[in-house]
Chain A
């Protein structure tokens, strides 16, 4: 990848961060928990995006960001107040900005009309005294000159791109004007040196322009005892014979024009027919040979004094430096690491954990006393290993903030679509979860939020009738609880309409009429496949996914989802997720002499089949009757090819699992060893996909155990 492409990638990464910052800031302003820093941060975010976008010639993005920035600047300077209407506009603008960034990165068609509509509204809002509705005439779109490939704007309130012909400044290019003589008189003030400019550099620059005769006036240099080391006593007169323009000569003094007296005068053109006298001043001036070899322009003694003065206070500087360094330590110190490296480390630590537990087991088997030094040392090692494991896992952990932020946009969009006024309240954004878990949470959460706004909250008129505030609240919280992350999505709507849920469930054949169901069982019905309580298929729902899909994706992450609802008060969905995907809570079982691990999240219950409960079905299939329903019995050993004859169910243990479509099955295993947290080792990288096997792990005794892919086994039984 070439450098520019790499920088562009950095730009897009940075954009994502800026967009998150922008949205957080706007939401804070909306909730009135802001200060000037917040507004500044919001401004800076848009400003930064614009700056980078300009550098890559992303015109559309620059144009929109510029207008957005202009409006934000007026808010920043207090010229317009961020009222509710303006904030809504700015939030929508941040959505558009996000879209523009993404389209710039991934390609695709942007909805032009939406962009230009918001663009226009922003422009209007930025007009003096302008409110979104005040002026019908949209301001002329800011004209924008496409920047060169490496242009970058990054600062300042006003963004007027300018085209500079650099050749003019450098004196290259343009073939020019005839040669003429300039007389430059240059008298630096002390400020010039204080700003780290240097007369000698300027003189060199002048000399680079042509044929220069330089005369230094040292008449004002005082006696050493009276000399101020930071004073300026020298001045110069330069006769420059060159073909550059006067402006080009003045350009040399661009940085210092206010810190020196400088004059540039062009001598009247000399008729070429006359003899040119090169330097009439040469006879009267003091020769300054030092300049010719770039030697010091300031006497050595002066320099020595300056050095001394500079050196003395420098001794006192460590304290000052420490003061400066202190706030810096609060700086977020981060490094970017390739994810592969982190995963490799996690993998190795997994090995370490396994190795350590094998060692412990061997030591126990060898009959070494528990209080012996070896055993005690091993205990320490175990503790250390756990700590290393936790720390390494923490590297992959990321706060849920970005995904929570994304949800506020979902809420806005859905609320707009269905005509409801909704406020999203989030808590625990700093709660950390494994990166992959976070990534895979986006879809299910989006769906839950959509549901909460679309189905959970009542229409504004119904809310008012029910004595509730017109604005509905959707609350999203994250918290750590006993080694898992609990994410709750709740609304303050009407709650589950149980009568209606039951009615639909019967109509759709999900349940039989007349089956007595508890409230929570009715609530659970919404996780049934194909279930949707929306009486009309709105824009929002009706996308073919229901809560069953949400449940599946949560389970695939090793998580669980549950619902609780109170009529008139709202509904709460609770997700319980593992902190990491690298370890798994499993039930260790034996089948035909093999040790297997069944993921705990899939297991509903375990039981010992009794004679009368087991029934044959057809030639081979067996079912087990549990609480009035028949559940297929699956012999795991037979399915996986560990044995050629199916085992006797009565000598087996049945593990009830719930898989896709809420279908329950009973997996037959020979015995249960216990529950254990295991480190997941992928088989697919080294071996390939094996039917019925999700992954493998190494147990404490060093044996490899495969982790069952429950869904695959159940599905394989059906086909």
Chain B
């Protein structure tokens, strides 16, 4: 079954990269440019996996994870955080808030797709 992935990142460049990698792997891609927008997209969609950035305007990744986990409809969706391994406190915070896993940057397409397949139902 085709997987649908919601990518949340304020950088258009990164969003496009995620899209290229995921489409290449035969996945459907939904995009949002920050946490608030992500929640708006979720209002009408049920992606299999969410990939989110941390540092974003309006609502950052932490707030977004918290909101998704607090939503009855979407709380079971796996969430992967785009992060840098060297910064453990961010990873920790994301995990405490309910992140399913993380993608260590710099990432490459194969690794991204693999991580998604790992957590997706």
With A55-B17, A150-B17, A194-B98 given, is the CB distance from A158 to B86 under 8 Å? yes
User: Once bound together, how far apart are the Cα atoms of A328 and B39, in whole Å?
Assistant: 8
- Assess whether A147 is interfacial by the CB under 8 Å rule: yes
Contact indicator B84/A160 (Cβ below 8 Å): yes
**Bound Cα distance A516, B72 (Å):** 85
Does A195 reach chain B (CB closer than 8 Å)? yes
Q: Which of B11, B75, B86, B119 makes the CB contact (< 8 A) with A160?
A: B86
Residue A151 lies at the interface, judged by CB distance under 8 Å to chain B = yes
| Chain A residue at minimum C-beta to C-beta distance from B112 | A150
Q: Does A352 contact B (CB under 8 A)?
A: no
Chain B 101-121, CB-CB to A under 8 Å as 1, else 0, gives: 110111111110010001101
Are B104 and A48 within 8 A (Cβ)?
A: no
A44-B55, A55-B106, A156-B55 known; A10-B13 Cβ under 8 A: yes
* In the complex, residue of chain B having the shortest beta-carbon distance to the beta carbon of A257: B95
For residue B29, give the distance in angstroms from its CB to the closest CB of chain A.
13
For the complex, is A347 an interface residue (Cβ under 8 Å from B)? no
Contact A154 B109 (CB under 8 A): no
Is A182 interfacial (CB-CB < 8 Å)?
no
Which residues from chain A contact B71 at a C-beta distance below 8 Å? 317, 320-321, 324
Asked whether B43 lies within 8 Å of A255 as measured between CB atoms, the reply is: no
Contact of A196 among B73, B100, B104 (CB under 8 A): B100
Supposing A148-B106, A325-B39 touch, asked if A159 and B84 sit within 8 A by C-beta, the answer is yes
Contact yes or no, B20 A201, CB < 8 A: no
Interface residues of A in 281-328 (CB under 8 A from B): 310, 313-314, 316-317, 320-321, 324-325, 327-328
| Residues of the A chain whose Cβ atoms lie less than 8 Å from the Cβ of B83 | 155-156
Instruction: Tell me, rounded to whole Å, the shortest Cβ–Cβ distance linking B110 to chain A.
Output: 7
Q: Number of A interface residues at 8 Å Cβ cutoff, please give it.
A: 60
Contacts of B39 in A (CB 8 A): 324-325, 328
Mark interface residues in B65-105 (1 if CB within 8 Å of A CB, else 0). 00101011101111100111111001000010011111011
Known: A156-B55, A317-B73, A327-B58. A166 touches B110 (CB 8 A): yes
- The distance from the CB of A577 to the nearest CB of chain B, in whole angstroms, is 31
Q: Residue on A with the closest CB to B41?
A: A328
Residues of chain A whose beta carbon lies under 8 Å from any beta carbon of chain B = 3-4, 6-7, 10-11, 13-14, 37, 40-41, 44, 47-48, 51-52, 54-55, 147-148, 150-162, 164, 166, 169-170, 194-198, 201, 205, 254-255, 258, 310, 313-314, 316-317, 320-321, 324-325, 327-329, 331
* A/B interface sample: 12 pairs, CB < 8 A: A14-B13, A40-B57, A51-B14, A55-B14, A154-B9, A154-B55, A155-B61, A194-B69, A194-B75, A201-B121, A321-B73, A324-B40
B residues engaging A (CB < 8 A)?
A: 9-14, 16-17, 20-21, 33, 36-37, 39-40, 43, 53-58, 61, 67, 69, 71-73, 75-79, 82-87, 90, 95, 98-102, 104-111, 114, 118-119, 121
**Given A55-B17, A150-B108, A152-B106, 16 other A-B contacts at CB below 8 A?**
A7-B17, A55-B14, A150-B107, A151-B106, A152-B105, A153-B84, A154-B14, A155-B55, A159-B84, A196-B78, A196-B98, A321-B73, A324-B43, A325-B39, A325-B43, A331-B37
